């Protein structure tokens, strides 16, 4: 089976990290893999000045970039015959590029799997806006569509689509390797850890609000953040000495911090399948987060076992109560820590996810 993987790659972003995990797995286990896979990077060239220009300029730059990617696909397909192309998509205007890439592949007799790497599908279904209509066109044209969370899967089934599969993200083997080097033992008492982009929609202001009146707490924030946002957040906290915004941090240091924090908190408004939740599970963290995207199935209670606490996005009182529960109820916290490690190793190991993906490719080719 000859597969062409078309996906973004780079340092930042959930899709890019997923791409790296898949390529690394394929590279290191080439002798055991049931396919021959090539890679088409779909990362757009950076234009540092584009943010300061108008919306129409940014759209034009994006469309030109998408056209270049599609032409690369056409050239690759002309030079080598593939059975299937697997395209990772972040939706929005890039869906126009996805449609063009599907057209190019089908002209060469190549099957197409679209992999939607975002968790907004139920919201789009309700809005029925231009993005939903474009998404429906892409799914109808594709041979198979993959989503990363149950809510999206159910939404598409209810919309009448039958060519849909559910595939979770894998936890990167590197996370487990790094976690094993940083032996998970003594935790830093009353230390709250946040990892993610330092933007409002990640719930960083709610986290500060929730922790204002929790005694003897320390909050560490890791992840890329603009200097202006960092200053605003420090000001919002009244320059509290319990808040430490470290910004972008080397990957191994992030995992080390996960291994020693008391509670991991991600009060995000919206997600697809957040890698930081998988990583914190692999590090045995006590997790407080929100039930958005794929998070509910990652942490849902099962057979009376607890895996974390989920609170409503933007609800500061719920967030404060959940953090206090994790800090004070040691038995509950330890139960969650043990359960998330077991679940991530059983459900989200990369060998299992890879086998599921190859099965989807085989099924799609056989149709």
DSSP characters over 178-236: HHHHS---S--TTEEEEES--SGGGTHHHHHHHHTTSTT-EEEEES---HHHHHHHHHH
- C-beta separation of 283 from 176 below 8 A: no
CA angle 262, 266, 269 (to 5 degrees): 165
Superfamily in which the 173-347 domain is placed by CATH? Glycogen Phosphorylase B; (3.40.50.2000)
Distances (CA, A) of 250 to 84, 195, 224, 336: 36, 12, 11, 27
DSSP alpha helices (H): ranges in the chain?
A: 14-28, 55-79, 94-107, 121-127, 130-141, 150-158, 173-181, 204-211, 227-236, 251-260, 275-282, 295-299, 316-328, 330-347, 350-366
Nearest to 278 by CA among 295, 292, 263, 290: 295
Question: Range(s) for CATH 3.40.50.2000 in the chain?
Answer: 2-170+349-366, 173-347
pTM metric for this prediction: 0.83
CA angle 262, 222, 331 (to 5 degrees): 15
> What is the C-alpha end-to-end distance of the chain, expressed in Å?
14
Task: Tell me the percentage of the chain whose pLDDT exceeds 70.
Answer: 92
**Is there a contact between 100 and 114 (Cβ–Cβ < 8 Å)?**
no
Q: How far apart are CA 135 and CA 91, in angstroms?
A: 7
Beta carbons of 306 and 131 less than 8 angstroms apart = no
Listed in sequence order, the residues at least 6 apart from 277 whose beta carbon sits closer than 8 Å to its beta carbon are: 266, 287, 289, 295, 298, 299
Residuewise pLDDT in 10s, the chain (367 residues): 999 999 988 755 678 888 988 998 898 875 577 789 999 998 754 444 444 455 555 566 667 878 889 999 999 999 999 999 999 998 888 899 999 999 999 999 999 999 999 889 999 999 999 999 999 999 999 999 999 999 999 999 999 999 999 999 998 888 888 877 776 567 899 999 999 999 999 999 999 999 999 999 999 999 999 999 999 999 999 999 999 999 999 988 999 999 999 999 999 998 888 889 999 999 999 999 999 989 999 999 988 999 999 999 999 999 999 999 999 999 999 999 999 999 998 889 998 899 999 999 999 999 9
The topology (CATH level 3) of 2-170+349-366 is: Rossmann fold (3.40.50)
What tokens were used for 237?
């906290």
Distance CA 195, CA 188 (A): 16
């Amino acid at each position: 089976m000859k597969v062409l993987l078309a996906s973004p790659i780079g340092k930042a972003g959930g899709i890019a990290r997923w791409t790296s995990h898949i390529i690394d797995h394929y590279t290191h286990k080439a002798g055991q893999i049931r396919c021959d896979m090539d890679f088409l990077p779909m990362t757009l060239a950076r234009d540092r000045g584009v943010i300061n220009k108008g919306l129409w300029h940014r759209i034009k730059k994006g469309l030109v970039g998408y056209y270049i990617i599609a032409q690369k696909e056409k050239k690759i397909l002309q030079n080598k015959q593939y059975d299937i192309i697997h395209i990772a998509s972040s939706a929005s205007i890039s869906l126009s590029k996805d449609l063009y890439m599907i057209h190019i592949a089908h002209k060469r007799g190549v099957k197409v799997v679209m992999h939607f790497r975002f968790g907004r599908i139920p919201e789009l279904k309700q809005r029925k806006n231009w993005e939903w209509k474009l998404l429906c066109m892409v799914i109808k044209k594709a041979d198979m569509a993959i989503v990363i969370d149950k809510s999206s899967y159910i939404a598409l089934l209810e919309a009448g689509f039958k060519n849909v599969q559910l595939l979770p993200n894998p936890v990167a083997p590197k996370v487990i390797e790094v976690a094993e080097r940083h032996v998970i033992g003594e935790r830093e008492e009353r230390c709250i850890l946040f990892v993610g982009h330092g933007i409002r929609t990640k719930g960083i202001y709610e986290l500060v609000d929730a922790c204002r009146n929790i005694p003897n707490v320390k909050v560490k924030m890791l992840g890329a953040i603009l200097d202006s946002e960092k200053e605003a957040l420090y000001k919002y906290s009244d320059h509290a000495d319990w808040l430490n915004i470290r910004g972008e941090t080397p990957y191994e240091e992030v995992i080390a911090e996960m291994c020693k924090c008391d509670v991991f908190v991600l009060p995000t408004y919206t997600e697809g399948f957040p890698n930081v939740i998988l990583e914190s599970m692999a590090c045995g963290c006590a997790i407080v987060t929100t039930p958005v995207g794929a998070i509910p199935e990652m942490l849902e209670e099962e057979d009376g076992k607890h895996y974390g606490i989920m609170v409503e996005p933007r609800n500061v009182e719920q967030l404060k109560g959940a953090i206090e529960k994790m800090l004070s109820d040691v038995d509950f916290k330890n139960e969650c820590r043990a359960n998330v490690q077991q679940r991530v190793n059983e459900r989200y190991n990369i060998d299992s996810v890879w086998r599921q993906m190859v099965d989807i490719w085989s099924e799609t080719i056989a149709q």
